[in-house]
Each structure stands twice: as structure tokens, then as C-alpha cells.
Amino acid sequence: MGILVITVKYKDNPIDKWLKKKGWFLYDHQVETFNLIKQGCDVILHAPTGGGKTIGGFMPSINDFINNNYESEVFHTLYISPLKALTADVQRNLLNPINDLQINIKVETRTSDTSAYNKAKQVKKPPNFLMTTPESFALLMARTDVTDLFKNLKFVIIDELHTFFNSKRGHLLSLNLARLRSIKPFQIIGLSATLKNTDLAKKYLSNNKDTKLVSTYSKVSPKITILKSDNRIPWSGHSPRYALSDIYLEVLKFKSSILFVNTRAQAEILFESLWAINDKNKKIAIHHGSLEKDLRKKVEKEIVEGHVECVVATSSLDLGLDWGNIDLVMQVGAPKGVARLIQRIGRANHTINTPSRAILVPTNCFEFVECIAAKECIELNLLEDEQYSDGSLDVLAQHIVGVAISQKFKREDLYKQTKEAWPYRNLNKEDFEKTLSFVENGGYSLQGYNEYSRLKRDGEYFEIKDKSLIAKYRMNVGTIVEAEMLRLRVSNRYLGNIEEWFINGLSAGDTFIFAGKRLMFEKVVGNIAYAKITALDHQKIPSFKGGNLPLSTHLSKSVRKIFSKQLDGVDLPDSLKKWSALQSKFSSFPEENELLVETFRRKIGNQEKYYMALHPFEGRNTHQTIGFLILRRIKKLGVQPFGFVANDYSILFSFSKEIEDIDFLFSQDILVEDLYEWLEETPLIKRLFREIAIISGLIYKNLPGNQKTGKQVTFNTDLIYEVLRKHDPHHILLKITTENAKKDLIDLDRLSNFLFRIKNKIKINKLNRASALAFSLLFEYHKETPDKNELDNFYLEKLEKELLEEVNAL
Amino acid sequence: MHYKDVFFADQHFSIFPNGELYWQRKKTLIISDLHFEKGSFFSETRQFIPPFDTIETLRQLTKFIDDHPVESIIFLGDLVHDKLAFQRMPGKAKELFFYIIKKINCTLTVGNHDDASFLRDIGLNLTKNIIIDDICFSHHATSDKKFSVFGHYHPKVRLKINSRGIWTSCFILNKEKLLMPSYGYFTGGLSIKKLEIQKLFKPEYEIYPLTKDRVYRIECKK
């Protein structure tokens, strides 16, 4: 913990009086934050969920406001959170003491849900404390009266600080904070429940200024158990079906529970399966990000009021909101990361000194090991280092438009100011100029759009050329680009958003599950998909891309460690003991830094298929890249590959004949030689380009007057990407795309660390049949081959039995 | 280059993957909906699409002319995206275009995007339609003659490949009508399942979906 220097009598603080009246007291970390702010420092308050961060963050503000007897119209404190819902929640929490103490402080929220009328009113007569999101903050900063608006600002509070370090939203926020600082200096407080790399967190928050960290840990560690089931844990797949009745029994034991899953599809399946066995009529609800807003709000309200006893949720419930009395959190499926699991477990308890309860439910053998590893990490308080990313230039392009709308600027000043934002500290002049010229008129090398330029130059100054840009900027601000979505309408009400590509794969009469309802698809009109409720079975489940995070580097290391000890000393259920024994008997477990490669063949019908399984445990994204690269190498050896499948732990290739020279596949130059060639070909990069084209404002997703038609992006960005690569290969958008791809698509750092770690440590086991580790992917491989019944686990179980018999027959 | 032969109005045509319809006997190339400078058109809304689409379209056309003994070209309308297209067109693209219309006898059957007053001066034959051997070539479908070849709709079709769907542009035809895909680089499309197209071709028709280097053929009955 930091140094506590009490120089001010915090006891005069009104909040303290209020707490006393309630029979509560201030935590040390709240007092320390208060004192440091008094001394003029910026502060990061790092405390676990239930640690009173909100009060801690606002106490200095409230105190300052009262002590200085500010006029009622002074806009004094700005609060920014990553979630709209959180702004309302914090407002509610703050109004309790304010109303009780009868202090005259006006607290309001401003998000995309705020009506235009209220927004206008707010600007004329600002509240004292304003709660907002990074996007709404950016819009405020793009006002022409920005200097006047913020002239009395004293404090900025950033909630859930850790969510901003590695995201484009975080880049946008940092740019606007840097600009605000140049308009009116302020003190800043960052709040977070999970922080590891505190030095970087300080830098992100206030660049080079002296920022103090106040950190406290929970005195009690959470009670984590792994669900015991008498049924056999499957070797593969992601279905918790084997443990369904055990899950239900746990749910029955607790008054209120959250069941976290990893994807929306899993949420839909678990929700439906629970209701199928819900003979005690427990009130079970579902919550995920694709559901219509009012449906989500209804569920949230019912949780708080205790009408819903159990909710199946995705990451949509991960952050911040205070759910009051949740007694139990279950994580169904792999935890994927330690910090993420802690965040989720934290939902179960909102007081700092009672342990949270959590039960982990692995859905296959690998996940069981991952659960053990995660549990150990939490018990030893070993968190991941957060990732920090360099500022992306598409976000800068968007920001420049906002700046230009607000004020004239000199390019030199803007460049300096941009570098004040920590993610952009290394921005070089050339990239800045290219970005500026892109904003101005497209920045094409041979020919620009001078006539329709967005900016006009007036001597040294830049400003917007005409007002038409303002509406476009306002309608398109933000850095979150979603897949093309259709709204789903069922008998006169909207249920939520569903990905266009999923609907395109349906024919009228096909059935699917959404929001826990069995629906029959009817038609698409404009951007609305119509469906009706049906009793028919055999549904498809929208699989929602992007819901699946890869296993974190940190957790993967712990998993590798457990495997390298042959699962020694781990309390294994019988089914896993058998799994582990099989692996030891017929192959081996990989040493900690070793890459285990297994080759084997199987006869399918009359055809011999050759397989090669790798077990790097580096997470799905990295495996995808390794998979593509090795596939290229296999082709170079003149062997016809059939393809590969990858999950968080392993990669499995199959091909037509035996590979003699396996070492060649892993030679070190694979990164240099093949990576960039592959990168240029992969369709994934076009998806990335689409995001960049929209964020940077090359194309607008929304145009004034276009919304009713439902037609959004009018251009095929794949075509733009191709024509740009051909005719203007040094264009700034292509550079951004490559940079983004290195980080997000292939996770270049992780990939090169992996190649470094396994250098000269490749162990090749030539086997007669698939090992226990490889089995898991063999199932997935066969699952992906037939195109229907993708989620039909019956098929998987049959295959699993077959393979088991094959092994038992030995 | 891969192509597919098709018999329409008792005549032998060839369909090419980029969307060219070639009438070998007459050494005539038919292409539709080039929409020159569609990309730059959006600069008016401050969207600065890369201004290279016209060049792309014209290079594709030049390559076809180089490979085949084309003597005349029929542009089936919507040659330009708007009336200022030629003013915005990059110099290189203009050069290429004027080279082609000088070398080859070019006719434009005027479409709804074409501004006749300007296009008349640049050396194109302008007309509402051309009739050759009982076939009427025009931008919009017509029933003046027995057979109609037209464009306007930018037809596209969704193909299922390995359980995944992809959109491709396509030709669609029955005994009397032949609808051309758009030839321009940035041109979008209308699904052939839409009523506007269905009512022209129902009940029996053929689709020729185009991919990067192949032409396919699908028969539709009912």
C-alpha cells in the first residue's frame, strides 16, 4: 500500500458524517485517496468489488464542492464509464448520500440514451456532476463552446480504468482527455478493481504527471470450487450437458445466482436446457448483449428486485453494476483469463470482507485443467499483465474531425497535444501529417478530393469547411463497429439484434432460438427480420461471431505447468484420471516449454488419413495463425493438406500422405517468410479494414436521412481495400490495417514469444492412434466436416464412444 | 479465359466471368452499368472513396478488347454515375476511355444515370435502344420486340458454398429476356429473388453466377 500522510482532517468530511449516521465507516483507501487529492495529486484507486470505489472516487469532489460554496450552475466533476448502464447506477448510488445529507448537488447522466431535449438543456444549464461515456464525452468536446462549458471543471473520474488500456475506445478517451487538459487543467481519479501493471496504468491516466496509486486487497480470498459431477466429463466440445442436473441442484441451493458463459450461443443453449429440467419452477432469466435494450433492462431490474433468482449471462453482466445480493456465481466453460474470472466472481459479493463464492463448471477435460490453473492463480493472486496498445490512427482521424468542428487549430499544436495522450506518445510527424491529410481530402497519393475537402486552411489554421460535417460526425462517433445486424421482430415487438449473415443462411420455415424463445424465420424486410414463435424442435442457434476470447498468455502458462507435471497432485475425477493415464501411456505430456507434436493415422472407410497434432496451449488466435502458416509449409513439401482445426490448446492437421521432414515445418524463418504473404491473403484482414474504414470516417455508417431505409454502409469495403492496395499501396489506411493486424489478428508478440520458447524443444511422438490430448480436436475436426448438426452433441458423443472403444480394444 | 456459351434468340453468345456478353458472329461486346466515377461521387457527402474505380473498370475492358476481335461495343446504359462524372474522372482514365471509343464503334443506350446533353459531345452514338436481328438492346426491359437484352438492376445471387453463403453478380435469362450484371467496379446489386426481377423472369429461367474466374449455370423452374 502507498504512504498515508494525513494532513487534512477528513473527519470534517460530510460523507464521513453520513456514513457514521448509517453506522458505517470509511475504509483506509478512501481516506488515503481523499488526502492525496487534497494535496493536488492524480490518483488511481484500486480496490476490489465492494470496496467502496464509487464513494472513494467522489468524496473529494463532494467535499470540494461544498467547501467552496460553488454556485448552483458550476459544472464541477465529470465521470466517465465504459458502460451506459453504469452511469445510471453510479448516479443512483451517489444520490443516496447527497439526498440524505440534503446537499445541493445536481447529478445527471448524458449518454446516447439521453433525449435531445435534455442534452440541450444540460448544455445551457450544466449539472454539477455529469456521468457520461467516452463517446458522449467526445461529442461534448466537439462543441464550439467547449472552453466555456468546462471552465469550472475540477475533477475527472474514470471508472473501470483497466478496460481502456488496450482498446480503441481507450485511445479516443485519451485523446479527448489530453485536449481537455489543454483547455482546463483538472485532477483525475481512476477507479479499477483489477490492475496489475500499475506503472502503465498511471501513465495512461495522466501521461507524465505524478500519479499516486492507492491499492487495497480483499482481506478474504474468494471460495472457488470446481463442480463435482458423477457423470463423465467429455473429452471435447463446449456443452455443460453432462453436469446439467448438478448445475441445477446448485442453483436451487442459492437464493440468487448468475451463471456466466462465454458466448451468446452457449447462453441460449444453457438457458433452454435449464428450463427443460426446471421442475421447481425457479425463476431463470437470460441476459446477453444482442437482446433488445428494454428486455435487458427488465431482467436487470428483476435481478435487483429479487424477482429473478438465476440469470444466464455473457460478458454483458461482467462490469460494474451493483446487483446487490447475488449469492453465487458459476462460470460455465473455460475461464479464459484470471482477471476476467475475478471480475465475474466479484459479482457475487459487494462487501469487501466477506468471501465471494464461485463454482467453476468445465465442459471438457482441457477446461478442467484450465479451471484448476485459474483457481490456483486467484488463490495466489497472480494476475495477468494488462495489455497496452499504441494509439490507432483511425481513431486519431475521427478525433481530428471532432477537434476541427469545435475550434480552429494549428497543426503543430494539435500534433503536440496528440502526443500528450499516452497511447500516442510515440506518434511520428509523418504519420500525423498523413492522417491529417486523409481527414482533409482522402490523402490519396496522386489525386485528392480538393474541391470537397472537409477542412479549410486559413493561414496556419485548419477548420471545418462547412457545417454538413457536424451531423455526420455526431451520427458516427465511436470506435465500436459491429457486424451488420438486423433487428429481430416477433409479433409486434423487437427481441434484439441478430447478425445478418446468420439470417442469410436461413430459409423461411427454419427454426432457431433467440432470447430463449423457439422461433420460426419468416422474412427480411429492410433491416428487420421477422419471425414467429413456434413449438417445433431442431433449432439452429445464432452463433454470434467474436464472443469467444482466447485463453490469456498468463493462464496458458499455468495450464502448461500443470500439464508438464503430468497432472500430478491435482485432484482429478475418475474420468480425467483415465484421460491422463491414456496420454501418459501412449504419448507423453509436454514439458513446460516444449512443443509436443504427435502424428498418427486413421482409416476412414478405405482411405488412410494422416494427422498431426500440436499442443502449444497459446490460445485460439495464435493457433489460427500457426495453423495457416504450417499449412503453407505442408503444401511446400508437396503434400496435399485437407485442412486444420484449432482451439485454445491444440491444432490438428490432416493430410493425404505421411510427412517425412517435420522439422522443416517449424524452422525459425517461418515468421519472416510466410507471415506477411499469408496476411495479405487472409479474408480476416478485410474485416479489419472495414472497421478501420468506418472508424476513420472513410465511409459513414450512418448518414442524415438514410436511417429509415436501413441501408447502412453503402460500399463494399473489400473492394475498396483491393483497389487501394493496387493503386495506392502506401496509403495511411493500409498502414493502419497492417498495424492493427499485427496486434489483433495474429498477436505478433505472442507468436514470436512462442517460436522463441520452443526453439530446439520440439518433441515428436509418432503414434499408432490418436492420443488423449489429440482426441479433443479430432472430435472438432469431424464436427466441422458435416455442415449440418453443428451443435448436435449427440453426434459428438457417438464419435467419442467409437474412439474410446478403439482405445479400449488395445 | 473461361466462359460459357449461351443461346438466346437463336443466337450464340458467350458469357465471361467479369460480366461481358460477347456476340462472336457480330464481333460485338455488350456491357452494362459501368457507373463511371461512382466512388468519387460520394466526395460530395465528404466520403473520400479511393478514386480508382473507373481506371479499374476500363483496364478490365481494355484487356477484353485486346484478347478479342471486338468491332463494336454496346454500353447498355448508366455509363456514368452522374452528370459530373467526366469532370471528376482522373486524367489517366479519361485517356483510356477516349482511346477505346476512338478505336471501336461504341453505342450507348441511354440509362437513367446518363446525362445525354453532355455525353453527346464526346463521340458516342447515343440512342434509346438498338435493334439487331429482332433483339432489342436497351437499359430498361422492353416488350417492343420479341427479345430484350437489358441492364439497370445489377442482379446478384447468393450461392451456398460449404454451408457458407457468398453473393456474386450474375446474368439471368429466360426465352425472351436477358438481364446483364453491372460491369462497374463499385456497383452494388439487387438480389434476383426480389420481386422486381422475379416478375420479369418467372416461372422458368437460368442464372449464370460469376466468380473471379468462372461462370456457373443454374436452372430454375416452377
Report whether pLDDT(A270) > 60. yes
Q: Which of A539-553, A594-608, A721-735 has the highest mean pLDDT?
A: A721-735
**Do A307 and A288 belong to one domain?**
yes
On average, the pLDDT of chain B sits at: 90
CA-based nearest distance A439→chain B, Å:
9
Judge: A442–B50 Cβ closer than 8 Å, yes or no. yes
Q: Of A340, A357, A379, at which residue does a domain stop?
A: A379
Interval B132-147: pLDDT, tens: 999 999 999 998 788 9
Comparing alpha-carbon positions, the chain A residue that sits nearest to B48 is A442
Q: Does B214 fall in a domain?
A: no
When pLDDT is cut at 50, 70 and 90, the band that residue A505 belongs to is low
Which whole-number Å values give the CA distances from A246 to A229, A308, A375, B7, B143, in the listed order? 6, 20, 20, 67, 71
pLDDT in tens, A101-125: 888 899 999 988 889 999 999 999 9
State the CATH number of the domain containing residue B113: 3.60.21
Range in A20-34, A374-388, A663-677 with the lowest mean pLDDT: A663-677
Q: Do A714 and B55 touch (CB under 8 A)?
A: no
Domain shared by A61 and A187, yes or no: yes
Query: Minimum mean pLDDT among A39-53, A128-142, B55-69: which range?
Result: A39-53
A interface mutation test: which of B38, B49, B88 has the most A CBs within 10 A? Answer: B49
| pLDDT of the residue at B164 | 56
Cα A551 from Cα B124, distance rounded (Å)? 63
B10 domain residue, yes or no = yes
The reported pLDDT for the residue numbered A711 is: 46
Residue A436, CA distances (Å) to A440, A735, B147, B159 in order:
6, 14, 54, 41
Per-residue model confidence (pLDDT) at position B176: 94
Domain assignment present for A557: no
In this prediction, residue A1 has a pLDDT band, given cuts at 50, 70 and 90, of: very low
Q: Does residue B90 belong to any structural domain of this protein?
A: yes
When pLDDT is cut at 50, 70 and 90, the band that residue A787 belongs to is very low
Percent of chain A at pLDDT above 70?
A: 89
Tell me, what's the pLDDT at A352?
A: 64
Task: Give residue A10's pLDDT band: very low, low, confident or very high (50, 70, 90).
Answer: low
pLDDT for A447 equals 67
- pLDDT score of A746: 75
Asked if A720 lies within 8 A of B165 by C-beta distance, the reply is no
Q: Does B185 touch chain A (CB under 8 A)?
A: yes
Mark whether A633 and A738 lie in a shared domain: no
**In chain A, whose CA is at the least distance from the CA of B191?**
A504
Q: Are residues A77 and A169 in the same domain?
A: yes
ipTM summary value: 0.90
B53 lies in some domain = yes
End-to-end CA distance of chain B: 33
Q: State how far the Cα of A720 lies from the Cα of A688, in Å rounded to an integer.
A: 13
Best interface-test mutation with B: which of A447, A467, A524 has the largest number of B CBs within 10 A? A447
**Long-range CB contacts (within 8 A, 24+) of A490-495:** A490/A517, A490/A519, A490/A530, A490/A531, A490/A532, A490/A533, A491/A532, A491/A533, A493/A292, A494/A292, A495/A291, A495/A292, A495/A295
pLDDT at A710 over 50: no
Partners of B168 on chain A (C-beta within 8 Å) are: none
Among A513-522, A540-549, B49-58, B152-161, which stretch is predicted with the lowest mean pLDDT? A540-549
Residue A237 has pLDDT above 90, yes or no: no
Are A281 and A318 part of one and the same domain?
A: yes
The pLDDT of A582-599, averaged and rounded, is 90
CB < 8 Å to B52, chain A:
723-724, 726-728
pLDDT score recorded for residue A131 = 95
What's the confidence (pLDDT) of residue A164?
Answer: 94
Q: Which residue in the set B44, B45, B51 is minimally distant from A447, CB to CB?
A: B51
Whether residue B123 is contained in a domain is answered as yes
Distance from C-alpha of A597 to C-alpha of A588, rounded to nearest angstrom:
10
Same domain, A196 and A266: no
- Residue A741 in any domain: the answer is yes
What pLDDT, on the 0 to 100 scale, is given for residue A191? 94
Model pLDDT for residues A291-304, shown as the tens digit of each residue: 888 888 888 888 87
A555 lies in a domain? no
Instruction: Name chain B contacts of A404, Cβ cutoff 8 Å.
Output: none
Lookup result for grid cell 456491357? B31
Question: Residue B57: closest CA among chain A residues belongs to which residue?
Answer: A723
C-alpha span between A443 and A724 (Å, rounded):
12
Asked if residue A155 is part of any domain, the answer here is yes
pLDDT of residue A81: 93
- H or E element in which residue A499 lies: strand A493-499
pLDDT digits (tens, 9 = 90+) for A83-98: 887 888 889 888 888 8
Does residue B180 carry a pLDDT above 50?
yes
Q: Residues A654, A643: contact at Cβ < 8 Å? A: yes
Instruction: Enumerate the residues of chain B whose CB falls inside 8 A of the CB of residue A719.
Output: 185-186
Closest CB from B48, B158, B185 relative to A441: B48
pLDDT of residue A639: 85
Q: Which of A119, A63, A111, A68 is nearest to A90 (CA)?
A: A111
Q: Is residue A548 part of a domain?
A: no
CATH number for A373: 3.40.50.300
The answer to whether B41 contacts chain A (CB < 8 Å) is: no
* Three-state secondary structure call for residue A511: strand
Burial status of residue A661 (CB atoms within 10 A of its CB: 0-12, 13-18, 19 or more): exposed
Residues A373 and A450 in one domain: no
A493 and A468 inside one domain: no
Q: pLDDT tens for residues A560-573?
A: 999 998 888 888 88
Residue B143 lies in a domain: yes
Q: Is B186 in Cβ contact with A449 (below 8 Å)?
A: no
Q: Is the pLDDT of residue A462 over 90?
A: yes
pLDDT at residue number B165: 64
Residue A286 has pLDDT above 90, yes or no: yes
pLDDT of residue A5: 33
What pLDDT shows up at residue B120? Answer: 77
Does residue A439 form part of some domain? yes
Task: Identify all chain B residues contacting A702, using CB atoms and an 8 Å cutoff.
Answer: none
CA dist A480 and A168 (Å) reads 8
Task: Inform me whether the pLDDT recorded for A694 exceeds 90.
Answer: yes
Q: Whole-angstrom Cα distance, residue B170 to residue B205?
A: 13
pLDDT above 70: residue A810: no
Q: Which of A794, A761, A548, A804 is nearest to A663 (CA)?
A: A761
Is A507 found in the same domain as A437? Answer: no
Q: What percent of chain B has pLDDT over 70?
A: 97
Residue at A753 is within a domain = no
Q: Are A716 and B188 a contacting pair at CB < 8 A? A: yes
Q: Which of A449, A505, A787 sits opposite B48 (nearest CB)?
A: A449
Binary contact (B46, A469; C-beta < 8 A): yes
Residue ranges with strand state E in A203-255: 211-215, 223-226
Note whether B163 contacts A787, CB cutoff 8 Å: yes
Q: What total number of domains does chain A contain?
A: 5
Q: Do residue A727 and residue B50 have CB atoms under 8 angstroms apart? A: yes
| Length of chain A (residues) | 810
Which of A689, A162, A179 shows the shortest CA–CA distance to A392? A689
Domain boundary (A215, A237, A271) is at A215
Residues A362 and A438 in one domain: no
Q: Grid coordinates in use for A103? A: 446537499
Q: Is the pLDDT of residue A735 over 90?
A: yes
Mean pLDDT of A638-659: 85
pLDDT tier, A351 (very low <50, low <70, confident <90, very high otherwise):
low
pLDDT at A142 over 80: yes
Claim to verify: residue A266 and residue A407 sit in the same structural domain: no
- Any chain A CB within 8 A of the CB of B134? no
The DSSP H or E segment spanning A272 is: helix A264-276
Task: Answer yes or no: is pLDDT of B222 > 70.
Answer: no
- A723 contacts in chain B (CB < 8 Å): 50, 52-53, 56, 185
Question: Which of B35, B46, B58, B212 should be substituted to probe chain A, the one whose Cβ sees the most A Cβ atoms within 10 Å?
Answer: B46
Cβ-based neighbour number of residue B150 at 10 Å: 23
Confidence at residue A79, expressed as pLDDT on a 0 to 100 scale? 97
Residue A753 has pLDDT above 80, yes or no: yes
- pLDDT at A18 (0 to 100): 75
β-pair type (B129-132, B135-138): antiparallel
Residues A432-450, mean pLDDT to the nearest whole number: 87
Residue A801 binned pLDDT confidence (cut-offs 50, 70, 90): low
Give the range of the structural domain holding residue A766, as residue numbers without chain letter.
572-666+758-808
Q: Where are the beta strands (DSSP E) in A284-349?
A: 284-287, 310-313, 328-332
Residue range of the domain that includes B141 = 4-151+175-188
pLDDT band for B121, please (50, 70, 90 cuts). confident
Of A196, A215, A234, the residue at which a domain comes to its end is: A215
Cβ–Cβ < 8 Å for B111, B151: yes
More confident: A527 or B28: B28
Q: Given pLDDT bands bounded at 50, 70 and 90, which one contains residue B24?
A: very high
Count the Cβ atoms, other than its own, within 10 Å of residue A491.
Answer: 9
8 Å CB contact of B46 and A505: no
**Cell numbers that stand for A29 in this block:** 483507501
Nearest to A469 by CA among B39, B37, B47: B47
Please determine, for residue A790, whether its predicted confidence score (pLDDT) is greater than 60: no
Smallest Cα–Cα separation from A777: which of A796, A795, A758, A754?
A796
Residue at B19 is within a domain: yes
> Residues in chain A whose beta carbon is closer than 8 A to a beta carbon of chain B?
438, 441-444, 446-449, 451-452, 454, 468-469, 472, 501, 504-505, 697-700, 703, 714-716, 719-720, 723-724, 726-728, 731, 787-788
B215 is a domain residue: no
**Predicted local confidence at residue A485, as pLDDT:** 77
* Nearest CA-CA distance, residue A699 and chain B, Å: 5
Tell if the CB–CB gap between B50 and A723 is shorter than 8 Å.
yes
Q: Which residue of A has its CA nearest to B167?
A: A504
Chain A: closest CA distance from residue B58 (Å): 13
Instruction: Report yes or no on A58 lying in a domain.
Output: yes
Q: Does residue A159 have a pLDDT over 90?
A: yes
One domain, residues A764 and A637: yes
Interface test with A, best of B37, B44, B47, B187 (most A CBs within 10 A): B47
Domain total for chain B? 1
pLDDT of residue A539: 63
Judged by a CB distance cut-off of 8 A, whether residue B193 touches chain A is no
How much is the pLDDT for A791? 36
Averaged pLDDT, B117-130: 84
